[in-house]
Amino acid sequence: SEINVFCPATIANISCGFDVLGVALDSVGDGMVVRKRAEKGITIVKLEGQKLPMETALNVAGVAGLALLEKSDYEGGFDIEINKKIKAGSGIGSSAASASGAVWAMNELLERPFTKLELVEFAMEGERLASGVAHADNVAPAIFGSFTLVRSYAPLDIVPIPSPSELYATVIHPQIEVKTSDSRKILKTNITLKEGIKQWGNLGGLVAGLFTQDYALIGRSLEDHIVEPIRSILIPGFDQVKSGAMHAGALGCGISGSGPSIFAFSKGQDTANKVAASMKKVYRNIGIEYDVHVSKIN
């Protein structure tokens, strides 16, 4: 038996939620086919769209799948076909899409022996391979859908958060590659109490705004004074994209994951489209190729 799954792209961090907040995009993602087989183990039999390692132990879907197999009493194995549409190093959870898609599919084929929380734990092994850190802020929303908060890593505690009904994301990917591992290395490891206060005030405000559909509160809370000032240096045109997006009516704008993609949230599709136009203009002027997506958040 086999299953065909959609592996969503995700925006992680969402400004004030470094390593703890993320959201799934229903309209951007990879395709994957997973097939049961008698022989133990996992084989990536096909990988289209991107140049990535196919060897199981070096492939994020392979590694996440092996983590699942290790905890399963299933005697057989799986073949995986991946149709990568999300570019590696784009900042919209390319590795998370593959890792979470693989374990989601396997769990379905095995008739759901594992909880979503356990699937997140398996998929995190893929993230460990990709970035050196088993962060869950992309894989959790890919598995749970909509927004998620990683309330705690040890023990893992994921809080699903609903999306307000008119919330849209605009994401632009300037065609330069930023490796998550590199953009983690440049971060400071200490913050001041004053910075902490700002950040957790905003994080609480953002979560409250999402639950109560308070767009103005969401907008006020989309701030990050800790990571964004450092990482934005790696993204040409970031400040212009952000000010243009805010001018076009976005609620807020920041770096998607570890970049170089930039996201903005808007209330309503019209504004999200205007934000997309303003973002494109910046990269047209600078002369950098880009992809842009407008997605309703469900």
Provide, rounded to whole angstroms, the least separation between the CB of residue 113 and ligand HSE.
28
For CA atoms 175, 250, 30, 76, the dihedral sign is positive
Provide, rounded to whole angstroms, the least separation between the CB of residue 137 and ligand HSE.
5
Q: Which of 121, 180, 223, 228 is catalytic?
A: 180
Task: Please tell me whether residue 184 binds ligand HSE under the rule CB under 6 A.
Answer: yes
Provide, rounded to whole angstroms, the least separation between the CB of residue 122 and ligand HSE.
18
Q: Which of residues 195-254 bind ligand HSE (CB under 6 A)?
A: none
For CA atoms 17, 20, 21, 23, the dihedral sign is positive
Q: Is 170 a catalytic residue?
A: no
Task: Please tell me whether residue 137 binds ligand HSE under the rule CB under 6 A.
Answer: yes
- The nearer residue to ligand HSE, 184 or 281, going by C-beta atoms, is 184
Q: Is 127 a catalytic residue?
A: yes
- The nearer residue to ligand HSE, 43 or 183, going by C-beta atoms, is 183
Provide, rounded to whole angstroms, the least separation between the CB of residue 156 and ligand HSE.
15
Site for ligand HSE (CB under 6 A): how many residues?
A: 12
Structure tokens at 205: 């405000």
- The nearer residue to ligand HSE, 94 or 221, going by C-beta atoms, is 94
Query: 17 — phi, psi (to 5°)?
Result: -110, 50
- The nearer residue to ligand HSE, 42 or 125, going by C-beta atoms, is 125
The interface region with ligand HSE, picked from 44-52, 133-141, 200-208, 276-284 by CB under 6 A, is 133-141
Task: Please tell me whether residue 180 binds ligand HSE under the rule CB under 6 A.
Answer: yes
Position closest to ligand HSE via CB: 257
Q: Which of residues 44-83 bind ligand HSE (CB under 6 A)?
A: none
Provide, rounded to whole angstroms, the least separation between the CB of residue 213 and ligand HSE.
26
Q: Which of 121, 125, 127, 223 is catalytic?
A: 127
What residues are annotated to the active site? 127, 180
Residue numbers at the binding site for ligand HSE (CB under 6 A): 12-13, 18-19, 93, 135, 137-138, 180, 184, 257-258
